[in-house]
Amino acid sequence: MRRVRYEHTGGPLFLEDVPVPAAGPGELLVRTEAIGVTLPVVRKVTEAAEPIPLGGEIAGDIVAVGAGVTRFAVGDRVTGLCFGHGYADHALLHETMASPVPAGASAVDAVALVRSGLVALGALEAARPAPGEAALITGAASGVGHLAVQLARLRGASRVVGAVSALALGKAEFVRGLGADEVIAYDSEDWGEPVDYVLDAVGGDLLTPGVAALAPGGRLVAYSSGGGSVRAYDLLVGAKSVIGFQMARIARNEPGRYERWREELWRLFAEGALRPAVHGEFALEDAAEAHAAIASRSNLGKVVLRP
């Protein structure tokens, strides 16, 4: 089978031919139809000390199951998060990380909706939104952010502000089309009226203006891999708070909640209330171009590889 990998930090991505892996205990061997590209993986290619397997969301048909698998069978269509080599014609997916793809949904729909939607919905719930509150979403045109904009509106936000890296490249129009009332650039001097909660997908230097955008008692949910820090004084004077959110913790420790969120996402998708957007579909041999779209912040929605 074909697989994408790299040999050193920041090194070029390339295709190699390797044997199809065998499904171990609790694992599903999936013939991949779509693979989601994420910012954390793109960052690790350039920042990790040692090369890592290129993993992420995958979707496709099960072609083999390992010992002990009870929830799925050969021929089932599934999606889930692959922690090993996911940029490949075939990938291993642990049964606990898999969910069925319903009839009428494509593999691309699945990788654009499920994992990114779980992060968006989980971050939103961590903010404890009340109907009528105002929300600000950073990374609003990203794979997660564009779903968070829609979910905030569906959860009763009275005003939704989308923050993006630049207002050019069609980002402002794209985010307004998702239901945002306002769109601002990260370097804007005026972030408008204060909001009750911020869902931050960027981190780094953006944490400070994100906290400043909060009304007294506001909450910022940080779910980015971008790091950064916040001054305690900035929280104290406005009785503001920063909440860290990690999807992996929910998946490991609260599987029932994780499953309820997945069911809600598919329900909203089936009703037409939640619309995942795909920026582009790239062949495996064009994985470097897919990474460049993410790294340059030019994507509008999810970036997907199609073997």
3-class DSSP state of 161: strand
Residue 21 main-chain phi, psi, to 5 deg: -70, 155
Q: Is 2-101+277-305 a domain of CATH 3.10.129.10?
A: no
Give the residue, 35 or 169, on which the prediction is more confident: 35
Q: What is the pLDDT of residue 214?
A: 98
**Eight-state DSSP code of residue 180:** -
pLDDT over 80 (residue 225): no
CB 258 within 8 A of CB 251: yes
pLDDT over 90 (residue 4): yes
Whole-angstrom CA distances from 121 to 37, 39, 125, 130, 217 are: 19, 18, 6, 14, 21
Architecture of domain 120-247: 3-Layer(aba) Sandwich (3.40)
Q: What is the pLDDT of residues 34-83, one digit of tens each?
A: 999 998 899 999 998 899 999 999 999 999 999 999 999 999 999 999 99
Task: Count CA within 13 A, CB hemisphere, residue 54.
Answer: 31
* Mean pLDDT, range 288-302, rounded to an integer: 94
Q: What is the pLDDT of residue 77?
A: 97
Predicted confidence band of residue 189 (pLDDT cuts 50, 70, 90):
confident
Predicted confidence band of residue 97 (pLDDT cuts 50, 70, 90):
confident
Predicted confidence band of residue 271 (pLDDT cuts 50, 70, 90):
very high
Q: What is the pLDDT of residue 249?
A: 87
CB 302 within 8 A of CB 112: yes
* Mean pLDDT, range 213-237, rounded to an integer: 93
pLDDT over 90 (residue 252): no
CA-based R_g, the chain, Å: 19
Q: How far apart are CA 288 and CA 12, in angstroms?
A: 7
- The tokens for 100 are 């069925």
CB 2 within 8 A of CB 307: yes
For 195, left (φ over 0), alpha (ψ -120 to 50), or beta?
beta
Q: Which helix (H) or strand (E) holds 110?
A: helix 107-126
Share of the chain above pLDDT 70, in %: 100
Q: How far apart are CA 100 and CA 19, in angstroms?
A: 26
Q: What is the pLDDT of residue 168?
A: 81
Domain boundaries, the chain: 2-101+277-305, 120-247
Q: How far apart are CA 74 and CA 241, in angstroms?
A: 47
